[in-house]
Chains A and B, each alone.
Chain A
Amino acid sequence: MILGIDHVGVAVKDPEAAGKLLTALGMSQGETGTADEYGVACEFWGLSGKPEEVSVELVSPTREDSSVQSQLAKKGPGAYHIALEVDDLAAEMTRLRSQGFVQLDAEPCAGAREGMQVAFFYLGRAAGFLIELVQYSTPRRAQ
Protein backbone atom coordinates (compact mmCIF):
# COMPACT_ATOMS: atom_id res chain seq x y z
CA MET A 1 0.00 0.00 0.00
CA ILE A 2 1.19 3.52 -0.79
CA LEU A 3 1.37 5.54 2.44
CA GLY A 4 2.09 8.94 0.91
CA ILE A 5 4.46 11.10 -1.10
CA ASP A 6 7.88 10.98 0.55
CA HIS A 7 9.91 13.39 -1.54
CA VAL A 8 10.47 14.94 -4.95
CA GLY A 9 13.87 14.20 -6.48
CA VAL A 10 15.69 16.98 -8.31
CA ALA A 11 18.87 16.27 -10.27
CA VAL A 12 21.46 19.02 -9.78
CA LYS A 13 25.02 19.63 -10.86
CA ASP A 14 25.74 22.13 -8.10
CA PRO A 15 23.93 21.23 -4.85
CA GLU A 16 25.39 24.23 -3.03
CA ALA A 17 23.90 26.67 -5.55
CA ALA A 18 20.56 24.81 -5.57
CA GLY A 19 20.56 24.78 -1.76
CA LYS A 20 20.89 28.57 -1.69
CA LEU A 21 17.71 28.81 -3.75
CA LEU A 22 15.85 26.47 -1.37
CA THR A 23 17.15 28.46 1.60
CA ALA A 24 15.75 31.62 0.03
CA LEU A 25 12.37 29.85 -0.08
CA GLY A 26 12.60 29.28 3.66
CA MET A 27 13.63 25.63 3.53
CA SER A 28 16.46 24.07 5.50
CA GLN A 29 18.69 21.08 4.87
CA GLY A 30 17.95 17.95 6.84
CA GLU A 31 19.40 14.50 6.31
CA THR A 32 22.20 13.89 3.82
CA GLY A 33 23.68 10.70 2.47
CA THR A 34 24.84 8.76 -0.53
CA ALA A 35 23.21 5.99 -2.53
CA ASP A 36 26.25 4.15 -3.82
CA GLU A 37 24.28 1.79 -6.05
CA TYR A 38 23.22 4.84 -8.08
CA GLY A 39 26.40 6.90 -7.72
CA VAL A 40 24.65 9.88 -6.16
CA ALA A 41 24.84 12.18 -3.14
CA CYS A 42 21.52 13.32 -1.68
CA GLU A 43 20.38 16.23 0.46
CA PHE A 44 16.85 16.31 1.85
CA TRP A 45 15.34 19.77 2.29
CA GLY A 46 12.10 20.74 4.01
CA LEU A 47 10.17 23.42 5.83
CA SER A 48 9.26 21.78 9.12
CA GLY A 49 11.92 19.13 9.70
CA LYS A 50 9.18 16.62 10.58
CA PRO A 51 9.91 13.09 9.31
CA GLU A 52 6.53 12.77 7.61
CA GLU A 53 6.95 16.02 5.67
CA VAL A 54 7.25 15.78 1.89
CA SER A 55 10.80 16.89 1.19
CA VAL A 56 12.85 18.02 -1.78
CA GLU A 57 15.81 15.76 -2.49
CA LEU A 58 18.75 17.33 -4.27
CA VAL A 59 20.53 14.53 -6.13
CA SER A 60 24.02 15.09 -7.53
CA PRO A 61 26.40 12.65 -9.21
CA THR A 62 29.38 11.20 -7.36
CA ARG A 63 30.87 9.39 -10.34
CA GLU A 64 30.91 9.42 -14.15
CA ASP A 65 28.35 6.61 -14.57
CA SER A 66 25.94 8.06 -12.03
CA SER A 67 22.25 7.38 -12.64
CA VAL A 68 21.60 11.12 -13.02
CA GLN A 69 24.52 11.84 -15.35
CA SER A 70 22.54 11.32 -18.54
CA GLN A 71 19.66 13.55 -17.40
CA LEU A 72 22.05 16.32 -16.38
CA ALA A 73 24.01 16.09 -19.62
CA LYS A 74 20.95 16.06 -21.88
CA LYS A 75 18.41 18.19 -20.01
CA GLY A 76 20.28 19.94 -17.24
CA PRO A 77 19.04 20.21 -13.64
CA GLY A 78 15.40 19.53 -12.85
CA ALA A 79 12.82 17.35 -11.13
CA TYR A 80 12.95 13.76 -12.35
CA HIS A 81 11.34 11.50 -9.77
CA ILE A 82 8.58 11.38 -7.19
CA ALA A 83 9.14 9.05 -4.25
CA LEU A 84 6.24 7.21 -2.66
CA GLU A 85 6.52 5.62 0.77
CA VAL A 86 5.05 2.12 0.81
CA ASP A 87 4.46 -0.40 3.57
CA ASP A 88 5.60 -3.45 1.59
CA LEU A 89 8.23 -2.73 -1.05
CA ALA A 90 8.31 -6.22 -2.56
CA ALA A 91 4.53 -6.33 -2.92
CA GLU A 92 4.36 -2.86 -4.48
CA MET A 93 7.19 -3.71 -6.90
CA THR A 94 5.21 -6.73 -8.05
CA ARG A 95 2.04 -4.66 -8.36
CA LEU A 96 3.63 -1.91 -10.44
CA ARG A 97 5.43 -4.41 -12.66
CA SER A 98 2.18 -6.27 -13.29
CA GLN A 99 0.63 -2.98 -14.39
CA GLY A 100 3.26 -2.62 -17.09
CA PHE A 101 5.60 -0.08 -15.51
CA VAL A 102 9.25 -0.59 -16.42
CA GLN A 103 11.33 -1.71 -13.46
CA LEU A 104 14.79 -0.16 -13.20
CA ASP A 105 15.98 -2.16 -10.18
CA ALA A 106 15.67 -5.93 -10.17
CA GLU A 107 15.99 -5.88 -6.38
CA PRO A 108 15.54 -3.15 -3.75
CA CYS A 109 18.63 -0.99 -3.17
CA ALA A 110 19.81 0.96 -0.15
CA GLY A 111 18.62 4.59 -0.26
CA ALA A 112 20.40 7.67 1.04
CA ARG A 113 18.53 7.82 4.36
CA GLU A 114 18.97 5.53 7.34
CA GLY A 115 16.81 2.40 7.07
CA MET A 116 15.65 3.30 3.56
CA GLN A 117 15.15 0.69 0.82
CA VAL A 118 14.19 1.89 -2.65
CA ALA A 119 13.30 0.71 -6.15
CA PHE A 120 12.76 2.85 -9.25
CA PHE A 121 10.13 2.51 -11.97
CA TYR A 122 9.53 4.40 -15.21
CA LEU A 123 6.03 5.79 -15.40
CA GLY A 124 5.76 6.40 -19.16
CA ARG A 125 6.11 9.19 -21.70
CA ALA A 126 2.75 10.74 -20.81
CA ALA A 127 4.17 11.61 -17.38
CA GLY A 128 7.87 11.71 -18.22
CA PHE A 129 9.29 11.03 -14.78
CA LEU A 130 10.35 8.16 -12.55
CA ILE A 131 8.63 6.76 -9.50
CA GLU A 132 10.80 5.73 -6.55
CA LEU A 133 9.16 3.31 -4.16
CA VAL A 134 10.54 3.78 -0.66
CA GLN A 135 10.19 1.63 2.43
CA TYR A 136 11.66 2.67 5.77
CA SER A 137 12.59 0.27 8.54
CA THR A 138 10.49 2.58 10.74
CA PRO A 139 7.60 3.99 8.67
CA ARG A 140 7.38 7.78 8.48
CA ARG A 141 3.68 7.89 7.74
CA ALA A 142 0.65 6.26 9.32
CA GLN A 143 -0.43 2.90 7.88
Chain B
Amino acid sequence: MADTQSVTDGVLDILEDVLEIPRADLEAHPTLRDHENWDSMGALEILSQVEGRFGVQLDLREFNAAKTVDELASAVSAGIK
Protein backbone atom coordinates (compact mmCIF):
# COMPACT_ATOMS: atom_id res chain seq x y z
CA MET B 1 0.00 0.00 0.00
CA ALA B 2 1.39 3.43 -0.92
CA ASP B 3 1.84 5.91 1.92
CA THR B 4 0.07 9.25 1.89
CA GLN B 5 3.19 11.27 1.08
CA SER B 6 4.17 9.10 -1.88
CA VAL B 7 0.63 9.37 -3.28
CA THR B 8 0.70 13.15 -2.86
CA ASP B 9 4.11 13.29 -4.55
CA GLY B 10 2.85 11.18 -7.44
CA VAL B 11 -0.25 13.32 -7.84
CA LEU B 12 1.92 16.46 -7.83
CA ASP B 13 4.16 14.92 -10.51
CA ILE B 14 1.13 14.38 -12.74
CA LEU B 15 -0.34 17.82 -12.09
CA GLU B 16 3.02 19.45 -12.78
CA ASP B 17 3.29 17.60 -16.09
CA VAL B 18 -0.28 18.06 -17.36
CA LEU B 19 -0.92 21.58 -16.15
CA GLU B 20 2.65 22.71 -16.84
CA ILE B 21 2.79 24.44 -13.47
CA PRO B 22 5.83 24.26 -11.17
CA ARG B 23 5.30 22.09 -8.10
CA ALA B 24 5.96 25.06 -5.81
CA ASP B 25 3.02 26.93 -7.39
CA LEU B 26 0.75 23.92 -6.90
CA GLU B 27 1.78 23.64 -3.28
CA ALA B 28 1.29 27.37 -2.74
CA HIS B 29 -2.07 27.43 -4.55
CA PRO B 30 -3.53 23.93 -4.14
CA THR B 31 -7.05 24.65 -5.46
CA LEU B 32 -6.93 22.93 -8.84
CA ARG B 33 -9.54 24.92 -10.74
CA ASP B 34 -7.91 28.22 -9.76
CA HIS B 35 -5.04 27.49 -12.15
CA GLU B 36 -5.36 29.07 -15.57
CA ASN B 37 -4.22 25.89 -17.33
CA TRP B 38 -7.00 23.79 -15.80
CA ASP B 39 -9.65 22.74 -18.33
CA SER B 40 -11.94 19.77 -18.85
CA MET B 41 -9.63 17.88 -21.22
CA GLY B 42 -6.66 18.48 -18.97
CA ALA B 43 -8.67 17.18 -16.04
CA LEU B 44 -9.42 13.99 -17.98
CA GLU B 45 -5.73 13.58 -18.77
CA ILE B 46 -4.92 13.97 -15.07
CA LEU B 47 -7.51 11.32 -14.21
CA SER B 48 -6.13 9.03 -16.91
CA GLN B 49 -2.57 9.37 -15.62
CA VAL B 50 -3.63 8.97 -11.99
CA GLU B 51 -5.45 5.73 -12.82
CA GLY B 52 -2.50 4.42 -14.80
CA ARG B 53 0.14 5.33 -12.23
CA PHE B 54 -1.67 4.10 -9.14
CA GLY B 55 -3.64 1.24 -10.67
CA VAL B 56 -6.98 2.61 -9.44
CA GLN B 57 -10.29 3.32 -11.12
CA LEU B 58 -11.94 6.52 -9.94
CA ASP B 59 -15.47 7.52 -10.77
CA LEU B 60 -15.46 10.84 -12.66
CA ARG B 61 -17.81 12.42 -10.12
CA GLU B 62 -15.49 11.30 -7.33
CA PHE B 63 -12.56 12.83 -9.20
CA ASN B 64 -14.42 16.08 -9.86
CA ALA B 65 -15.34 16.33 -6.19
CA ALA B 66 -11.65 16.69 -5.33
CA LYS B 67 -11.00 20.43 -5.31
CA THR B 68 -7.41 20.48 -4.06
CA VAL B 69 -4.17 18.52 -4.40
CA ASP B 70 -4.73 16.93 -0.97
CA GLU B 71 -8.32 15.97 -1.76
CA LEU B 72 -7.23 14.36 -5.01
CA ALA B 73 -4.45 12.47 -3.21
CA SER B 74 -6.99 11.31 -0.61
CA ALA B 75 -9.34 10.05 -3.34
CA VAL B 76 -6.46 8.14 -4.89
CA SER B 77 -5.41 6.70 -1.53
CA ALA B 78 -8.98 5.56 -0.89
CA GLY B 79 -9.00 3.88 -4.29
CA ILE B 80 -5.74 2.05 -3.55
CA LYS B 81 -7.02 0.58 -0.27
Contact = CB atoms under 8 A, between A and B. Distances in A.
Instruction: Give chain A's interface residue range (CB within 8 Å of chain B).
Output: 10 to 19
Contacts of A102: 44, 47-48, 51, 60
B60 A106 contact: yes
Nearest to A104: B60
A128 B48 CA distance: 12
B60 A70 contact: no
A124 B57 CA distance: 15
Interface in B35-80: 39-41, 44-45, 47-48, 51-52, 57, 59-61
Interface in A111-138: 122, 124-125, 128
Contacts of A103: 60
Given A100-B52, A102-B47, A71 B41 contact: yes
Interface of B: 18, 39-41, 44-45, 47-48, 51-52, 57, 59-61
Interface of A: 67, 70-71, 74-75, 97, 100-104, 106, 122, 124-125, 128
